[in-house]
Each structure stands twice: as C-alpha cells, then as structure tokens.
Structure 1
C-alpha cells in the first residue's frame, strides 16, 4: 500500500518569517513544504490573508497540514471558521492575543478570535514567556479549538530569536499530525 505524503503549507505571521526562522528552515528541510505568500506582509488585512490561505489550500492535490506561526494562527482560525475545505491537521505556534498590548497595530480585522472547535486534528504550541500572548490565552484558544496544548518553556515568541534552529521538538509535534 502506498503512503500519501501530505503537503505542508506554512503560514507566517506579520513581517513574514526570516531565514533563521524555524518555518523557513522547515521549508528547506521538507520538499513537501511551501509558504502561503501574502500580498502585504507588513500591513495584514485578515480577510485578504484568509482569502490567500483559502486559495492555497484549494490548489493542493495532496492532504494538507497547515503550519502556522503568530498572526498566521489567527489567520488559520478565521479561515477554519468559514472554509468548506478539509485538511488533515494544523500546528499552531505562538498564538497572539489581539487584545494584548504588544499586538501589532498594523494588523486589521483580527480584533476577535474565532473560538469554534477546529474540524481537524490540531496542536497549539506555547512558550511561557511569549510577549504577544500569555500561556493562559493560548491555553484558552487550544481548549476552544479542541487542540492538544503543549508548553515548551521559555522561548519567547518561538521565532528566529529563540535560537531553535531546525526546531527538533516542533518536528516531533508535526509528526503527530502526519
């Protein structure tokens, strides 16, 4: 029996993921990983980002696993609340709090986070010292979404500055969705 390899779609947050970010490194590691390319990384509009994600998922011929970081997680939640597409699963890393003091003012349309149960397997990953979303906030989202909740310790916003390289622990979590 032949195994079908899922397509990984990475969904970066505002300002995109730079060369040292684990999402970018995973795209280099996994030939089945591609980035959802937004028109404007610096001034995100939720409806536009959701439409771009919808189009990216529609174009896939293999089962899809979404790999979201930061604002990409909120984009994924808004997308899941309105799409008719089905996916295999999602890894949501560093879910920001749109009501938090550090939430980017340039992000429009993200004021309210959809909190419906996600219709696919999902894992929310949290750092205990993320400046954009508290552990309590991320745990609340994970519970509402029906997601497994994983705390990895003090790694800030789980980005390039966290020094995670290829982020092996994240790859183990991703494998649970495959």
Structure 2
C-alpha cells in the first residue's frame, strides 16, 4: 500500500494538477478517493481518509491541498493512528465571508496542535486564504510555515502543474 496519501480538495485535482502528477510519478503514492468531490460532507471525507490510512502498512505521509487540508486536520482531532507527517498546501479558509456556502460545514476550522510533524505551505496572494490567516493556522496546528510568495491557490488555474518546491518539502518527510 501507499506510504504517501494524496488528499485533494473540493472537486478533486485534475490530471495536470501537481497532486495528480505526484500520484503518477511517485511509486508509493495513492489518492484518497472521497465519496463525493462536488458535494463534500466533512464526516464522509474524514472517514474516507481514516479508511485509507488504516489500509497503509506503515505510517503514511499525508499531502493535502485546499479542502483536503481541512479533512486532514478534522481527522487528526477524532482519530488516533500514526502519521509520519503532513504537507498542507494552500488550506481553504471555509470561514471567509465570501467563501463557498457548500464548504462551510467544514468549519469551524480546528485550532488545535496536530500530533504529527506538519508543514503548511501558503501563497501570499491565495484568493482562498489570507497570509495572516495562513500564519495563524500554522501556529495553531504546530506546523512549520512556508511562505511561497505570490503564486495563487497552488492549482492549475494559478499556473501550477509541476510544483518542484512542494516536492522538496515532501522530501523532508521521506
């Protein structure tokens, strides 16, 4: 089984997204298949993540993007399985007043320290997460904060297919 679990966000990660590229190129990576990518339910996503983690033969590295980051954080508050580490890339701020109503049930965003090594990587111009909020979440979660500079939401729309800096961050857990 995989030692890296890819946890995409709302609407999944398309074929050119860095998460999909990693899944295809890393021999030990697998995507966590969520029950419904277009109408996410927190409880369903957290349980799908738990099932994927339970199927791993060794403690996995979790790689979340956007809403997938919140699934990881919610999972950590209700489950107790060993995790080698987590890379949380561009978490979605579901508490933003201008956020998608569909994603609000993933709030409130947990503000506890995660029980595993975590890196939170965020852009300074992400339309879904303000820089100050990213730093505050990293502090609350006990994560090392990495400021990626201006690079949008780290998705294909912001010009990200391959993401070499992310691969370097992932390598820190390996």
Residue segments in structure 2 that go unaligned for 5+ positions in a row: none
**Where does residue 120 of structure 2 map in the other structure?**
124
Q: Distance in 1 between matches of 2:26 and 2:149?
A: 26
What is the distance in 2 between the residues matched to 1:98 and 1:164? 22
- Listed as ranges, the matches of 1:56-135 within 5 Å are 56-107=52-103, 109-135=105-131
Q: Distance in 2 between matches of 1:96 and 1:167?
A: 18
Q: 1:102 offset after TM fit, Å?
A: 4.1
Aligned length: 174
Instruction: Tell me how far apart the structure 2 counterparts of residues 165 and 48 of structure 1 sit (CA, whole Å).
Output: 28
SS at match of 1:48: helix
1:160 aligns with 2:163: no
Question: Is the 2:66–2:90 contact (alpha carbons within 8 Å) kept by the matching residues of 1?
Answer: yes
Question: Deviation of residue 6 (structure 1)?
Answer: 6.9
1:101 Cα deviation from its structure 2 partner: 3.5
Cα RMSD for the two superposed structures: 1.4
TM-score normalised by L of structure 1: 0.93
Cα 1:6–1:27, aligned 2, differ >3 Å: closer, same or farther? closer
TM (norm. structure 2) is 0.95
Normalized per residue, the structure richer in helix is 2
Does structure 1 residue 34 correspond to structure 2 residue 33? no
Structure 1: gaps of 5 or more residues: none
Deviation at 1:110, TM superposition (A): 1.1
Q: Which digits, 9 at most, give the CA deviation of each residue in 1:92-144, with x for residues without a partner?
A: 00011112144222225212011111111110000011111111111111001
